[in-house]
Amino acid sequence: MLFGKRDDGLRAEAVRRVKGWVASRARAGESDAVMVTELQCTEEGCPPVETVLALLRPGDEPRKWKVHKPVALVTEEDVREAIEGRHEHGH
With bands split at pLDDT 50, 70 and 90, how would you rate the model's confidence at 91? very low
Q: Side by side, which strands form the sheet with 63-67?
A: 33-40, 49-56, 63-67
- List the beta strands (DSSP E) in the chain: 33-40, 49-56, 63-67
Number of domains forming the structure of the chain: 1
- pLDDT in the model for residue 6: 55
Q: How many CB atoms within 10 Å of residue 16?
A: 10
Domain assignment present for 28? yes
pTM value?
Answer: 0.81
Q: CA-to-CA distance for 15 and 21, rounded, in angstroms?
A: 10
Domain assignment present for 66? yes
Domain assignment present for 89? no
| Domain residue limits at 35 | 2-83
The contacts of residue 63 (CB under 8 Å, 6+ apart) are 26, 54, 55, 57
